[in-house]
Each structure stands twice: as structure tokens, then as C-alpha cells.
């Protein structure tokens, strides 16, 4: 059996690492890694392959990061001849980024079977590009591996054949479990004993210049109560720079961090403020308080079971909830079902069956 794993962005690398390792124990499986180039460079791509021990991609499509439409078209155009040449039995796609949907579309046109890892998640907000990617990919996929039971319910509601749906758990947690013992050696220098971590990258947040100015001002105010560390996604850096926003001196900014360095920060944080879906999951497993700066989440299981709270884009609520956590009023959580570090093994067994 021949499988192609299509990855393009940082969350894909983390998920694919687990599935690739699980399938490596099957001698009759040939695996090839295809990188679309959606995230590129030392900080956003190379260091993840190095730390996660992922093999070098067999092919890098080097698609440019321009508009959503152009990026989708470019990935499809460059992936189609690769698919025709390689003739795989399965293509495995991950998550909800542009690369995921683009690869699934090409496979559907050429009649190649698609397995979607992290299927069924829904925010029910079609203004999010990721939501469009999720819905389209799930409709085109032949196997759908869900990380939580709400994913199964969402897919059933959309008319997906139940025989295609498999609740396997969260593969991102597989990688976290494997890498967590190594994270302690990667803590960034001069980190205070107690601190908050913040990440922002969603267009609905960082593309809103007025909101970003006020958000940074509020973070500056919060930093008088608790030091804040803000590793900035390149997209966020670009938007802040283009808008001419002055960075507050009370917040410690850095470039985007490698996986192990960020994991080290995450597990010791007093609170995490984010708009990232993956970080909602990781903080749930680590039992670290998480405040999600969005009006919704495609991972409601992190609110139901975990430590995550949705605070919307309200600065007042963000400050109030942060102060509650600092005062010891911390939401207690536990892990959702099958977030046990074995999800990739379940996927491997189903694919090989």
C-alpha cells in the first residue's frame, strides 16, 4: 500500500508526525510526505521537521502564501501532477488549513481515496476560512477520523455515511505525550516564575487594526499583574507592522517558537490567552487555564471537558477572567475520551485494514 501525507502548516506537522510513526511499523506500507509550502522557512517549518523527527518531504510544492484563492489554486495546480505520477492508494490530509482542502479537491477529481485526520470539527461560523476548509474536505473524504464525539454527530447531521466515520481521538495529543519529557530542556531563557502566554493569528482578530491596538493596550495593563510572553505568528507581525502599531513595553515579544520551546512555555503557564484551536486542545491535556479570544470554537470539547473558556473579543471579560485565575479561581478540567496518546495507532490500524 502506498500513502501520501499532505502537510502545509505547523499544526499539520505535529499531527502527521504521530500518524507517520504509527504506520512505520507496518512493513507493507510505503509512505511519502508532500509539503505544500504553505508555511515555510526555519521557524515555521524546518525546525518542526527537526524536532519532531519527521523525514524530509519527498516533494515540496513551494506554493506561495498570497490570497486564499490564489494559494488554493497554486497548491492544486502543483499537486495534481504529483498525484498522477505517484498513484497512491490513499492520501492522508490533516486539520483545516488551505493545503488540506486543496489536496482533497485534487484527489476527488482524480478518483484517489482521501483520509481526513481531525474530521468533523465545526465552529458553525462560515466567515472563518478554516470552517469552509473543514466542510469541503469532509464531504470529499472516504475515511473520516474524528478527535471527539461531537465530530461524529456533526458529520452524521451533514449526511456523511456512518461507515466512513471513525472516532479515534486526538493525534495532536499523541505527539504532545511523546515530546513532553523533552520539553523541559527547551524552556526559553529568563522566563519569570509565573507568567501568561498569548498567541493571536486569526484574521478576524489580527486583521482588525483598531481591535489589535486596544488588545495590546489591555495586555500592557494585564502585564502589571502578571508577566506576559507573546510569541508572534508571522501573520500577526506583518499586520502589526503594516498598521504602524507600537508594541507595549510591558509585554515580552518574540518570534514564533519551535514546537518544544513553545510546549515548555505552555505547560508552566499560569494562563494561556489564544485564538488557536490546537492550543485549546494542548492546554486541555496539560490542565492549564486557557482563555479563547473568539466568539466560538470548533473544539467545544475543550470547554465541556477541559480548562478552556470562551471570552469572545471582550477586553473587560478577558481582564476579569485573567484576574480570577490569578486569584486562584481556576476551572478544573479533565481529558476528553481517547485523548490517550494512542489515536495514531487506531488510525494506522484502520488504514491498513
Catalytic residue among 5, 201, 233, 334: 201
Please work out, in degrees rounded to the nearest 5, the angle formed at the alpha carbon of residue 277 by the alpha carbons of 72 and 35: 40
Residue 179 vs residues 129, 145, 321: alpha-carbon distances, Å: 30, 22, 30
Phi then psi dihedrals of residue 144, to 5 deg: -125, 115
Rounded distance between C-alpha atoms, residue 341 and residue 17, angstroms? 13
Phi, psi (rounded to 5 degrees) for 64: -80, 155
The SS3 call for residue 199 is: strand
90-122 burial string, b = 16+ CB within 10 Å, else e?
Answer: bbbbbbbbbbbbbbbbbbbeeebbbbbbbbbbb
CA–CA separation, 113 and 73 (whole Å): 20
5 catalytic? Reply is no
Task: List, in order, residues 6 or more apart from 164 with CB less than 8 Å away.
Answer: 141, 142, 143, 144
| Beta carbons of 283 and 272 less than 8 angstroms apart | yes
Report the first-to-last Cα separation within the chain, whole angstroms: 11
Residues designated as active site: 201
Amino acid at each position: 500500500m502506498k500513502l501520501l501525507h499532505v502537510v502545509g502548516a505547523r499544526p499539520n506537522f505535529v499531527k502527521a508526525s504521530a500518524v507517520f510513526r504509527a504506520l512505520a511499523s507496518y512493513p507493507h506500507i510505503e509512505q511519502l510526505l508532500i509539503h505544500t509550502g504553505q508555511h515555510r522557512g526555519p521557524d515555521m517549518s524546518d525546525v518542526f521537521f527537526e524536532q519532531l523527527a519527521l523525514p524530509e518531504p519527498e516533494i515540496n510544492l513551494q506554493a506561495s502564501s498570497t490570497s486564499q484563492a490564489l494559494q488554493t489554486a497554486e497548491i492544486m495546480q502543483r499537486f495534481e501532477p504529483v498525484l498522477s505520477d505517484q498513484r497512491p492508494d490513499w492520501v492522508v490530509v490533516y486539520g483545516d488549513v488551505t493545503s488540506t482542502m486543496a489536496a482533497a479537491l485534487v484527489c476527488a477529481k482524480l478518483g484517489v481515496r482521501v483520509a481526513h485526520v481531525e474530521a468533523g470539527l465545526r465552529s458553525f461560523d462560515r466567515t472563518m476560512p478554516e470552517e469552509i476548509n473543514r466542510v469541503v474536505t469532509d464531504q470529499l473524504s472516504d475515511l473520516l477520523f474524528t478527535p471527539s464525539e461531537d465530530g461524529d454527530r456533526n458529520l452524521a447531521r451533514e449526511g456523511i455515511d456512518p461507515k466512513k466515520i471513525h472516532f479515534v481521538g486526538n493525534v495532536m495529543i499523541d505527539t504532545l505525550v511523546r515530546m513532553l519529557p523533552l520539553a523541559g530542556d527547551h524552556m526559553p531563557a529568563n522566563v519569570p516564575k509565573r507568567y501568561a502566554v498569548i498567541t493571536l493569528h486569526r484574521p478576524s482578530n489580527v486583521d482588525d487594526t483598531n481591535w489589535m491596538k486596544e488588545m495590546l493596550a489591555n495586555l500592557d495593563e494585564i502585564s502589571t499583574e502578571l508577566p506576559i510572553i507573546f510569541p508572534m505568528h508571522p501573520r500577526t507581525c506583518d499586520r502589526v507592522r503594516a498598521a504602524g502599531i507600537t508594541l507595549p513595553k510591558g509585554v515580552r515579544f518574540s518570534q514564533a517558537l519551535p514546537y518544544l520551546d513553545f510546549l515548555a512555555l505552555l505547560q508552566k503557564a499560569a494562563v494561556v490567552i489564544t485564538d488557536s484551536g490546537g492550543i485549546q486542545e494542548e492546554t486541555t491535556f496539560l490542565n492549564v487555564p486557557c482563555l479563547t479570544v473568539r466568539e466560538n470554537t470548533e473544539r467545544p470539547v475543550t470547554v465541556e471537558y477541559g480548562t478552556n473558556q470562551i471570552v469572545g473579543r471582550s477586553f473587560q471579560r478577558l481582564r476579569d477572567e485573567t484576574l480570577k485565575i490569578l486569584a486562584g479561581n481556576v476551572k478544573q478540567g479533565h481529558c476528553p475520551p481517547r485523548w490517550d496518546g494512542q489515536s495514531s495507532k487506531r488510525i494506522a490500524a484502520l488504514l491498513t485494514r
